[in-house]
Amino acid sequence: MAYVIFSYWVFDVPASFITGYDSGGILEMRFAVVARNYVRGWLIPDIIVLSLDIVIFIVFGVSSSTEGDDSLPSFRIARALRLMRFARLLRLHKMWHLVDDLLDRVKTDSFLLTIKIVRSLAVVLAINHYVSCAFLAMALLFEEQSLTWLVLADLDQVPFTTQYLSALHWSLTQFMPATNNIAPNSATERVFAIFVVLIGLAVFSSFISG
Q: What is the tens place of the pLDDT at every residue in 89-122?
A: 555 555 566 666 666 666 677 777 787 788 788 8
- Say how far apart CA 135 and CA 128 lie, in whole Å: 10
Burial class (CB in 10 A: 0-12, 13-18, 19+), 191: exposed
Confidence of residue 169 (pLDDT cuts 50, 70, 90): very high
- Long-range CB contacts (within 8 A, 24+) of 18-24: 22/97, 22/101
* Segments in the chain forming alpha helices (H): 2-16, 31-40, 43-65, 73-84, 96-105, 109-141, 149-152, 160-175, 187-209
Pick 106 or 46 by higher pLDDT. Answer: 46
- Say how far apart CA 48 and CA 60 lie, in whole Å: 18
- Say how far apart CA 157 and CA 166 lie, in whole Å: 13
Q: What is the mean pLDDT of the chain?
A: 76
Confidence of residue 71 (pLDDT cuts 50, 70, 90): very low
Buried b (16+ CB within 10 A) or exposed e, 55-72: ebeebbeebeeeeeeeee
Q: Which helix (H) or strand (E) holds 186?
A: none
Residue 107: per-residue pLDDT:
66
Return the axis-axis angle of helices 31-40 and 43-65, rounded to nearest 10°.
Answer: 60
- At residue 40, does pLDDT exceed 70? yes
Residue 166: per-residue pLDDT:
92
Nearest residue to 14 via CA among 56, 54, 42: 42
What is the model's pTM? 0.58
Q: Which fold has domain 106-210?
A: Helix Hairpins (1.10.287)
What are the residues whose beta carbons fall under 8 Å from the beta carbon of 169, sequence distance 6 or more? Answer: 180, 182
By DSSP bridging, strand 26-28 and strand 21-23 are: antiparallel
- Say how far apart CA 29 and CA 35 lie, in whole Å: 10
HSE value, Cβ hemisphere, 13 Å, CA-based, for 33: 9
The structural domains of the chain, with segments of one domain joined by +, span 1-97, 106-210
